[in-house]
Chain A
Amino acid sequence: DQQVKQNSPSLSVQEGRISILNCDYTNSMFDYFLWYKKYPAEGPTFLISISSIKDKNEDGRFTVFLNKSAKHLSLHIVPSQPGDSAVYFCAARGDPDGAQKLVFGQGTRLTINP
């Protein structure tokens, strides 16, 4: 049972335009959400996160939106740059007092075209 889902395996966006990556979750106990970026042959690197008490968090070109009623979060990248081409994973935490176990989505491969 996939608790965190990224339904778009791939996304192609023109350089300079907005990239929107989506993620849905089923477990209402998740209280913290993260986005990771992964280049080929490298480990994932942390990008941005949001607590369930907020609905938006911004960091430079990256903004994450959380809609708790819809159990949906999205990552906006504006403007998109060629270096943003990577696989993006969303992740959720369900146990704030425990070992910080994260549940990951399947990933979305973002390609930025010049």
Chain B
Amino acid sequence: NAGVTQTPKFQVLKTGQSMTLQCAQDMNHNSMYWYRQDPGMGLRLIYYSASEGTTDKGEVPNGYNVSRLNKREFSLRLESAAPSQTSVYFCASSEVRRETQYFGPGTRLLVL
């Protein structure tokens, strides 16, 4: 039981490049989330998926897109990376109507 897994662990991109961050959970959770963590800002919600087939914007969605591929997987795509997207990205999941979210280990992204 791996919980929440994220790939890659670390990535360097040039401005304008695109990439997809992958997230999978094996806890049969309905809800999944993408956050970014920046110094002094805490964790900010980018997008979330309350259930398979639905996605909604969070606090900071600009420059990102998401896909809820199935119940297990929730990917985050940067179409044209910008230096402002340099951050640590965390994926999380939770059971429906349950408050506790379980986090993956994070993806550290550097955009040059």
Contact = CB atoms under 8 A, between A and B. Distances in A.
A4 B42 CA distance: 10
B40 A9 contact: yes
B72 interface: no
A62 interface: no
A101 B94 CA distance: 10
Chain B interface size range: 20 to 34
A4 to B, nearest CB: 8
B98 A43 contact: no
Interface of A: 4, 6, 9, 32, 34, 36, 41-46, 49, 89, 91, 93, 96-107
Interface of B: 4, 31, 33, 35, 40-45, 48-50, 56, 58, 90, 92, 94, 97-106
Given A34-B100, A44-B103, A100-B97, 5 more contacts: A43-B92, A46-B101, A100-B98, A101-B45, A104-B43
18 contacts: A4-B42, A6-B42, A9-B40, A34-B99, A41-B105, A41-B106, A43-B92, A49-B99, A96-B97, A97-B97, A99-B48, A99-B50, A100-B99, A101-B33, A102-B99, A104-B43, A104-B44, A105-B42
